[in-house]
Amino acid sequence: MRKAGKDDVKERLLSLSKNLEAKFIATRRALHQIPEPSFEEHKTQAKICSLLKQVRIPHERIAGTTGVVGIVEGSGRKTIALRADMDALSMDEQTDLPFKSRNKGYMHACGHDAHMTMVWGAGWLLKQLGKDLPGRIKLIFQPAEESPPGGALELIRRGVLEKPVVHAIIGTHVSASIPSGKVGFNRGAISAAADDFKITIKGKGGHGSSPHSGIDAIVVAAYFMTHVQTIVSRRVSALESVVVSIGKIAGGYRDNIIADTVHLEGTVRTRSERMRRKVRRMLSQILDATCASFGAKAKLDYICGYPAVVCDDALTQLSEQACRDLLGKANVKQTTEFEMGGEDFAYYARKVPGTVLFVGIMNRRKGKVFELHHPRFDIDESALRVGVTALAYSAYRWLESSS
């Protein structure tokens, strides 16, 4: 029997995805109704297992986590993984969708319901290739992308990239800046290293009528916050991608008491490891110098979050070309946009070659215009079939080139 060529496979995948589009939409809607917080995706895990069982994909729950891994066997030895995140955001949904969140206080406002659907759907399509699949597909459904330390590191520790060994990995993310029907790729670093910090400034309390007798922690904090702005404006090149933001401040008792303690919380976003280390040192330096000038003391807790996601050039180029062949050149964007958000896909991409497929979900005519993390966020569901097929064909082409 003649082995199917890439054009045959492309047409089969396109035909299959078209026939199964209603199922993809129903699946995404079912997942959308059961959003759960990071590390607590129990109903979602059960739903994923049920979906994999329906399409006869062998799978198992990852012990000690809410993660799931499925395996699609082909005829080759190499393995490529497709990764989807599972958790939701802690916010109330403000849409009027008939399938809106049933879990008050939680919403799939970052598209993870779509990501899970696309990876499951891609696995289903690839399974139907049988021996024409020149390798193995590992489907990784990962908990807790939204909450550092995240779920990726824990899954890696528990061997998700082993047995069988994963040789490459593709993640997916919906994009509200790309029109539905199109996909996008980015080269090199595509997201920031995302770190957090907590600061406690200790002064000396006193009566508001005699500020000279105390050390006003509020004044110290105000000077510190002003000086911190010079990190980006005066101490870092304008060509660097750096953000330092303080999002929370708490301190004081009442109008006539000098505050002895102030608590601050903030975030640092950087593109390179070199700048990540440098900004951390500058933050500490400014804090120490400011407190010393007032006679105050401070404690800095710096919490290293996700590193930057750096896409592998070869895998990105291969996937980009596969999607051009599949969808047409006009429907594949090569974007240079760099996001200052964090993403723990970075940990996989540090272990094996990785890239991220961005799936456009914006449709102004249908009113699908809200950005990620917005309480009225929704997707143009026609994008699901595009994402499913693009993931499946990209994975197939990588296996074909590696066999």
306 included as an active-site residue: yes
Supply the DSSP symbol for 132: G
- If we measure between CA atoms, which residue out of 39, 14, 226, 297 comes closest to residue 129? 14
What six digits make up the tokens of 219?
A: 């004044």
DSSP for 366-386 reads TTB-PPTT-TT----THHHHH
User: Which are the contacts of 374, defined by CB distance < 8 A and separation ≥ 6?
Assistant: 109
| CA distances in angstroms from 74 to 85, 124, 224, 266, 304, listed in the order given | 24, 13, 59, 48, 39
User: Which are the contacts of 105, defined by CB distance < 8 A and separation ≥ 6?
Assistant: 90, 91, 92
What six digits make up the tokens of 277?
A: 């280390």
Amino acid of residue 33: Q
Rounded CA-CA distance 231/208 in Å is 32
Residue 120 φ/ψ, nearest 5 degrees: -60, -45
Rounded CA-CA distance 392/396 in Å is 6
DSSP for 142-189 reads ES-SSSTT-SHHHHHHTTTTTTTTP-EEEEEEEEEEEETT-EEE--EE
Paired strand residues for 200: 263, 299
The one catalytic residue in 381, 393, 396, 400 is 381
Rounded CA-CA distance 83/126 in Å is 15
Contact 338, 190 (CB under 8 A): yes
Contact 264, 221 (CB under 8 A): yes
What six digits make up the tokens of 62?
A: 């990852």
Rounded CA-CA distance 297/10 in Å is 64
H or E element that contains 18 = helix 6-19
Q: Environment class of residue 56 by beta-carbon count within 10 Å: exposed (0-12), middle (13-18) or buried (19+)?
A: exposed
Catalytically active residues are 306, 381
